[in-house]
């Protein structure tokens, strides 16, 4: 069956979210290392890792073996009512890596459920449904997480179970403080946070939730120290900070294992998903016991932490640590960031290049202005695809190219992908000028 047939059937049977990325979406049928192959036999270098889903890459024997070991028992899963060895071992590993005080881990099947769980913990703990979030945030697609998502483009519902107030701090490029120094930017965001707490809440706020680097929001990267400064204000009001590490966890930012660690603060809880499973469906929350205990004994997830997902995730985590992929993310990410910044010097389509490690955003604008250029971003994706490179896009206006390859990317692959991406951006610039 051709991909065109499959696309028609997809559109007939499901909502058409595929249009977000490609006019002509591909079917990925196999993968090796950092490359995937589509249904027509074309191979691509993957610079988006699913959507940061494939932390390590494709066809990793250690992970396949771990999954196979569970499959070979004849039990894929029963329920989380029983003891599950893989689950306990993974929880111990994540708790030890978390740096949190007296941590406990709860597993889910996705980032959305992880954030829903975190919201439930915090709102129960404080007996308040007031939540602080960042403008331009994305936290998931269920009722509570959509409500705290500060990007209406992703909101499937205008009704809200949460009373949310949004603060500055996420998306600097389109904030009133864009041209401030880092220190002045942080000070302005802290003033905004204080004013939002004082003027839009009763002060009785369940939590603040934030992505250390906004993922869907276009890899918007705040200056180091911002969340540490926020935490001082939050502490005055007894408001716990929850770090959404769904994209920034597992060393992807290069500098630290968790994105929030760049800010000199330990949050009360962190949520995670995506890269941990390298394609397996797993997410979760790691939280201080006091917060986690709000969950109560009757709260379990049928599939969250099932032995296939946790067995695979354990192998992913071991692989990430044994191969020091955080250091590799810093090294090849640095090459990409430098290369894209150099390209921006000669390319008026690029308004901003930002990010850390293997999370790099390239914001495209109408040349000579800072007006968003979403059509150019879509065109670059298509041009890159035609040249054998998959990249992502995102941002409030859909005009930010997102570069986030598997963390095993080699220097040679980084150089190859960079050349194709730079060429595609230049071609799009010519087409649109």
Binding residues vs ligand PLP (CB under 6 A): 51, 110-112, 115, 138-140, 211, 215-216, 244, 246-247, 273, 283
Q: Please say which residue, 123 or 424, places its beta carbon nearer to ligand PLP.
A: 123
Min separation Cβ 395 and ligand PLP, Å? 13
Q: What is the rounded distance in angstroms from the CA atom of residue 161 to the CA atom of residue 159?
A: 7
CB of residue 131 to ligand PLP, shortest distance in Å: 14
Q: Is the CB of residue 388 less than 8 Å from the CB of residue 413?
A: no
Shortest-Cβ-distance residue relative to ligand PLP? 111
Which lies closer to ligand PLP via its Cβ, residue 70 or residue 151? 151
Q: Given the complex with ligand PLP, which of 141 and 331 has the nearer CB atom?
A: 141
3-state secondary structure 251-315: CCCCCCCCHHHHHCCCCCEEEECHHHHECECCEEEEEEHHHHHHHCCCCCCCCCCCHHHHHHHHH
Sorted by sequence, the CB contacts under 8 Å of residue 113 that are 6+ apart come out as 140, 142, 283, 301, 304
Q: H/E element holding 318? A: helix 307-322
Helices 307-322 and 325-345 meet at what angle, rounded to 10? Answer: 70
Cα-only R_g, the chain: 21
- Taking the C-alpha atoms of residue 58 and residue 63, their distance in angstroms, rounded to an integer, is 10
- Please tell me the distance from the alpha carbon of residue 83 to that of residue 113, in angstroms, as a whole number: 21
The least distance separating ligand PLP from the CB of residue 283, rounded to whole angstroms, comes to 6
Minimum Å gap between C-beta 246 and ligand PLP is 4
**To which residue do tokens 């929850």 refer?**
242
**Residue closer to ligand PLP, measured from CB, 57 or 275:** 275
**What is the smallest separation between the CB atom of 263 and ligand PLP, expressed in angstroms?**
16
CB atoms < 10 A from the CB of 214, how many? Answer: 31
Closer Cβ to ligand PLP, 217 or 372, answer by number: 217
Q: Give dist(CA 349, CA 365) in Å, integer.
A: 5
Sequence-distant (≥ 6) Cβ neighbours of residue 176 within 8 angstroms: 168, 188
Q: Could you give the angle at the alpha carbon of 247 between the alpha carbons of 246 and 253, nearest 5°?
A: 130
**If we measure between CA atoms, which residue out of 346, 340, 349 comes closest to residue 391?**
340
CB of 21 to ligand PLP, least distance (A): 13
* Nearer Cβ to ligand PLP (136/408): 136
> CA–CA separation, 213 vs 245, rounded Å?
9
DSSP string, 66-85: HHHHHHHTT-S---TTS--H
Close Cβ partners of 126 (under 8 Å, ≥ 6 residues apart): 204, 205, 206, 207
- Helical spans, DSSP H, in 151-240: 182-200, 226-237
Residue 51 or 97 having the CB closest to ligand PLP: 51
Q: How far is the CB of 377 from ligand PLP (least distance, A)?
A: 17
Q: Which is nearer to ligand PLP, 201 or 247 (CB)?
A: 247
As measured in angstroms, the least distance from the Cβ of 424 to ligand PLP is: 24
Q: How far is the CB of 284 from ligand PLP (least distance, A)?
A: 11
Minimum CB distance to ligand PLP smaller for 245 or for 352: 245
**Residue 169 or 215 with smaller CB distance to ligand PLP:** 215
Q: Smallest gap, in angstroms, from Cβ of residue 183 to ligand PLP? A: 27
Least Å from the CB of residue 250 to ligand PLP = 13
Bridge partners of 137?
A: none
Spatial contact of 161 and 206, defined as CB atoms under 8 Å apart:
no
* Nearest CB to ligand PLP, comparing residues 281 and 427: 281
């Amino acid at each position: 069956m051709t991909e065109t047939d499959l696309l028609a059937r997809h559109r007939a049977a499901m909502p058409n979210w595929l249009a977000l990325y490609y006019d002509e979406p591909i079917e990925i049928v196999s993968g090796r290392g950092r490359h995937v192959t589509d249904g027509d036999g074309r191979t691509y270098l993957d610079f988006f890792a699913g959507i940061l889903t494939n932390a390590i890459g494709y066809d990793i024997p250690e992970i396949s073996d771990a999954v196979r070991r569970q499959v070979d028992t004849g039990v894929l899963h029963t329920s989380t009512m029983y003891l599950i060895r893989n689950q306990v071992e993974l929880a111990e590993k994540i708790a030890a890596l978390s740096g949190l005080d007296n941590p406990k881990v709860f597993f889910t099947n996705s980032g959305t459920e992880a954030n829903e769980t975190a919201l439930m913990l915090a709102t129960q703990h404080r007996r308040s449904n007031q939540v602080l979030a960042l403008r331009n945030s994305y936290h998931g697609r269920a009722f509570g997480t959509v409500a705290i998502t500060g990007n209406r483009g992703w909101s499937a519902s205008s009704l809200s179970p949460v009373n949310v107030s949004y603060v500055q701090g996420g998306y600097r490029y389109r904030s009133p403080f864009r041209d401030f120094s880092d220190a002045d930017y942080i000070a302005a965001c802290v003033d905004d946070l204080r004013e939002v707490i004082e003027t839009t809440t009763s002060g009785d706020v369940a939590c603040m939730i934030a992505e250390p680097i906004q993922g869907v929001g276009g890899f918007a990267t705040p200056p180091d120290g911002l969340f540490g400064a926020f935490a001082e204000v939050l502490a005055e009001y007894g408001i716990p900070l929850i770090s959404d590490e769904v994209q920034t966890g597992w060393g992807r930012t290069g500098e630290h294992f968790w994105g929030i660690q760049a800010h000199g603060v330990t949050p009360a809880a962190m949520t995670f998903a995506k890269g941990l499973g390298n394609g397996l469906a797993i997410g979760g929350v790691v939280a201080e016991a006091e917060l986690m205990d709000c969950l109560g004994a009757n709260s379990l997830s049928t599939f969250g932490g099932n032995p296939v997902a946790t067995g695979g995730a354990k192998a992913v985590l071991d692989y990430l640590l044994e191969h020091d992929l955080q250091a590799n993310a810093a090294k090849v990410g640095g090459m990409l960031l430098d290369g894209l910044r150099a390209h921006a010097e000669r390319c008026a389509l690029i308004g901003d290049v930002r990010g850390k490690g293997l999370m790099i955003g390239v914001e495209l604008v109408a040349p000579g202005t800072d007006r968003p250029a979403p059509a150019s971003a879509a065109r670059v994706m298509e041009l890159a695809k035609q040249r054998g490179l998959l990249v992502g896009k995102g941002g409030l206006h859909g005009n930010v190219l997102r570069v986030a390859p598997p963390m095993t990317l080699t220097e040679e692959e980084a150089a190859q992908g960079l050349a194709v991406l730079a060429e595609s951006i230049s071609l799009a610039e010519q087409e649109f000028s």
